[in-house]
Amino acid sequence: MNSEQFKSMIRNIPDFPRKGIQFKDITTVLKHPECMQWVVDQTAAIYRDKGITQVVGLESRGFIFAPAIAMKIGAGFVPVRKPGKLPADTIEVSYTKEYGTDTIQLHKDALKPDDVVLIHDDLLATGGSALAAVELVKKAGVKKIYANFVIELDDLEARKLFKDIEVQSLIHY
């Protein structure tokens, strides 16, 4: 498996969830274990030596690969969820996304000051949810933050919004 083979398996859904958006659907690659393994292996290779202690996965598609990446690099997994889904005390951040507003939450005790965190999600488009996750993780007072995505939509230039965060993506459109 290489990046072009992986890219060829991603389905494009025009006008979803609203007109003008070209949705990159990764469910087509999830049917193939070699595709899932490729994402985990490629991502682990990038972060294996960066001292990551926790991988933060964003609801919902960030949950698909983040736990496997965490296991591969010897880190824990921390979910970032929508309101009302986490059972203990939380901290939260609200943000604007390309087609509305949303709020995400993290358990107050999920991260510690000496943690090195990898924030993982499936797609970097306008950056709203990922930047909200960065803000949320910063509220927890961690040592260092990295951000990783399976797919990045380069024309939207969201990468530029991550001022002090190293951003890596496996596939670019």
Residues 144, 86, 107: CA angle, nearest 5 degrees: 30
| 37: β partners | none
Q: How far does the chain reach from its first CA to its final CA, in angstroms? A: 18
Comparing C-alpha atoms, which of 107, 114, 108, 109 is closest to residue 142? 114
Q: Alpha carbon of 20 to those of 16, 17, 71, 83: distances in Å? A: 8, 9, 37, 28
Please indicate whether residue 92 is annotated as part of the active site.
Answer: no
Looking at 59, 92, 98, 135, which residue is catalytic?
A: 98
Looking at 61, 81, 152, 159, which residue is catalytic?
A: 61
Give the distance, in angstroms, between the CA of residue 57 and the centroid of all CA atoms in the same chain: 6
DSSP classification of residue 81 = B
Comparing C-alpha atoms, which of 84, 85, 4, 71 is closest to residue 43? 71
Please indicate whether residue 166 is annotated as part of the active site.
Answer: no
CB 133 within 8 A of CB 102: no
Q: Any idea which residues carry the catalytic annotation?
A: 61, 98
